[in-house]
Chain A
Amino acid sequence: MNCEVSQLKELELEHFEMREVLRCILHTIVFHRALGLVRPKDVDMELFDITYVQCGEVELEKKIDEKIEQFVCWVEKHPNKKSQICLSFYEVKNKQASWFSNKVERLYWEQWYINLNVSQHPKAHSVKSHHSKVVNPREGALEDRNVRSAALEASLRDVLFQIIKFVNEKKDHVPPIPNIEGPVSFPYEITIPSSSDSAFGMDMLKRMLQTGHPTMLS
């Protein structure tokens, strides 16, 4: 089975925006892969004028939030680095023997890479010059923030469309819908960079070995 990979457009954001942005993206992806009975839940973002959809499952929400927290911690320890979160979907296959001697093998059939560029310090002054109307500095900063935030909103929207397009174009690799209860039909995992980058790389390598050759897409 093919493992389709989607590299999502990199988002430049500030620290405080990470959580909501990640939540938005992760939930959006999972919603598209939640082929069980779903009662979709609209979520209006607080920071952006965007509505995204959740599956409305508590467990899922919890897991996503957990991972996001871990990721935020990692970012705090590794400031000014580009970072990546990977959301993978897999199937579980029992195998007698495998390279890594686990009896249960994960067959990854889809991976989403969310690319973030978290800036530690808001670039408050970068845009200011364009706005002659600024009356007082506080307002100016606010305006800058708005401009920047609007840009991020647009990018985020792009990413969401990217997800939708991907989902539309690639349907063949999605495993048959298992007959299960609950909206989340396929096992998934969220991988964040671990304490050292190399480990993260190893992880990826391992996964590649397991899944065969992933087709790099987008």
Chain B
Amino acid sequence: MNRFQELLANPALTEALPEALVETLVMVGIAGVFTLVIGLALGVILHVTAPGGLRPVSWLHVLLSAVINVTRSIPYAILMVALIPFTAWLVGTSIGPIAACVSLTIGTAPFFARLVETSLREVPSGTVDAARVMGSTRGQIVRKVLLPEAMPGLVASITTTLVMLVGYSAMAGLIGGGGLGRLAYNYGYQRFDTAVMIATIVIMVILVQLIQWIGDRIVRAVDHR
């Protein structure tokens, strides 16, 4: 049996690996959607309520900012463990890819919210003034001016966030989240199956490259600056 046939005969690679990849994609996909929606909303609120913003609300800005900072200062490895009871209460179990999405979303949404806030802040105040002078409502300014004008930065932030999610999802695998993280741990670390370890790393690298490549393409397409 040559090397290649040996690999094909390894059930960890032929059966467990595709399954783990799907689990990882499910985690990144679901947590990604929630992160983007929640993070975008929080980022917009942060920007709009900031002093000198469209609708300054000091207490809300300070409160939200503090909550985001607290969440961001907890390392993900600790956050996911700390959130086990909450996850169990929310989705009925603390095991599996769906359960992992809870801590993944809570871990990355605040980070994405900050990136959104930064992107929105880069829209020149003159552009917003122009929109206000033309009689735009605040909602119209957010939807028709701030978000479209910040789009290149927002897409780049989404890319960064998704890449981070891929990394976090592997960590989530260690406490029962499933996916490529668990595969690498179970086979590569505990069973010394180097082939699985390497295959996992290669797939993760390809996944990240793919996300970054697609993200960069979209940024280029939406950037008219």
Bound together? no
Q: Which residues of A approach B to under 8 Å, CB–CB?
A: none
